[in-house]
Structure 1
Amino acid sequence: MLTIYGVYRSRASRVYWLAEELGLAFRSIPVIQARRLAAPLAEDAPLNTRSPAFRAINPMQQIPAIDDDGLVLTESLAITLHLAAKHGGSLAPADRREEALALNWTLWAATAIEPQAVRIVLVYDAGVEATDAGRATIAEAVLALEPGFARLEAQLAAQPYLLGDRFTVADLNLAEVFRYAMSQTALFDRHPQLKAWLARCQERPAFKAMMAKRLAEAA
């Protein structure tokens, strides 16, 4: 059976979303981020990213990770690509061309979009978005994101989803990355095709099911 290590309030959300889309049976082992604990290595500490038991799964001390019948993977976007390819269906690339495009878009999002979007999330997590330093960081990140938003806007002007007329794992991966920038409403308003695409992705029942569990989880 598939085992997912992580919590919904983490990058594991994209793995849980895909599992919902595919209707997969899985075992979920909650592993929380060590930064959320005062003493992550204490004997009574809950399982966390610094726990020896989890470091044996992922020495990099990051979530999510999976064990898929003995195959251990520790990168969230690689996990989603693997599970989609393994279980097939409309979410999976239909041929080598689509496989290459899904990989290309996923790696692009991870390298060109996610680092800047995460900068924005960190400002809000720290509660400093109203300070001069916080506003400056957000403005720098938004400026860096503009070319990427424009590129995806152009792609989505010609078709409703990244690979054509159907939602695939490529859309799921990018939707989860772009979600980190959703606090910047003006940025999305400047890119209406992208904004509408993200709304379509987030209207899916599997996303809503994942998000309900995420919101129910302890912050």
Structure 2
Amino acid sequence: MTLKIYGIAASRALRPLWAAEELGLPYEHIRYHFNGPETREPAYLALNPNGTVPVIDDEGLVVFESLAITLHLAQSRAQGGLWAQTPAGVAQIYQWTLWAATEAETLARQWFQHTSFLPPEKRLPALAEEALDRLQGRLRVLDQALQGRDYLVEDRFTVADLNVAAVLQRFEVMAREDFPAALAWHRRCLARPASQRAFALRQAG
């Protein structure tokens, strides 16, 4: 059976698509739109009762939540190099993934919604500014963690870097201060061939 990844690349499905590309996994990309009627059909809700994307079917194992999916793919294919080699590294992968979800993504999403995603009449500039102001502190934490190192865990690219870089994919636009270490890291992550292939899928839908 082939790994199935549901969700257009212009959504959080980008994350498992990037992971699959990094790992060299064959997969079927099922381009369900996050607002599409197919996500409300019984067959899809049986896979993801939240009615959101992404979700994967990995040879019968169904997993939703994008960051859980990338962790699963990295750990279950540890030979692919995205997983850590030490218990300390595993702990740091979880730490940075949860940091991305709890500290960074909520603010990044609030900023994006009220600058680009929502219809203009529904955007609240004050909420965008508030989110961006608060996000600078999170970016400062990331920049400090990357001082003198190229990657977050074990000084090599892992799923921790993938998860944080994907959550902060608009880093250069959101950064109001000078974060040289984090900026260099982010560019390094997005320049990877697998990242380029995953982002290119956004043009295809």
Provide the residue aligned with 1:44 in structure 2. Answer: none
Q: CA deviation at 1:101?
A: 0.5
Q: Residue 93 of structure 1: which of 69, 84, 89 is its match?
A: 84
Q: CA RMSD in A?
A: 1.7
Map residues 1-219 of structure 1 onto 2, 5 A cutoff: 1-34=2-35, 40=37, 48-88=38-78, 89-123=80-114, 124-126=116-118, 128=120, 133-134=124-125, 136-184=126-174, 186-187=175-176, 189-217=177-205
Asked if structure 2 preserves the Cα contact closer than 8 Å seen for 1:109 and 1:174, the reply is: yes
Paired amino acid for 2:69: I
Provide the residue aligned with 1:43 in structure 2. Answer: none
Runs (4 or more) in structure 1 with deviation over 2 Å come to: 126-129, 180-184
Structure 2: which 5+ runs fail to align?
A: none
Aligned residues: 201
What are the superposed Cα offsets for residues 148-170 of structure 1, whole Å, 9 maximum, x if unpaired? 11111101013110013211110
Paired amino acid for 1:193: A
Asked if structure 2 preserves the Cα contact closer than 8 Å seen for 1:121 and 1:181, the reply is: no
Q: CA deviation at 1:181?
A: 4.7
Structure 1: which 5+ runs fail to align?
A: 41-47
* CA separation of 1:191 and 1:127: change in aligned 2, threshold 3 A: farther
User: What's the TM-score once normalised by structure 2's chain length?
Assistant: 0.91
Question: Rg: which structure is higher?
Answer: 1
Paired amino acid for 1:209: R
Asked if structure 2 preserves the Cα contact closer than 8 Å seen for 1:6 and 1:64, the reply is: yes
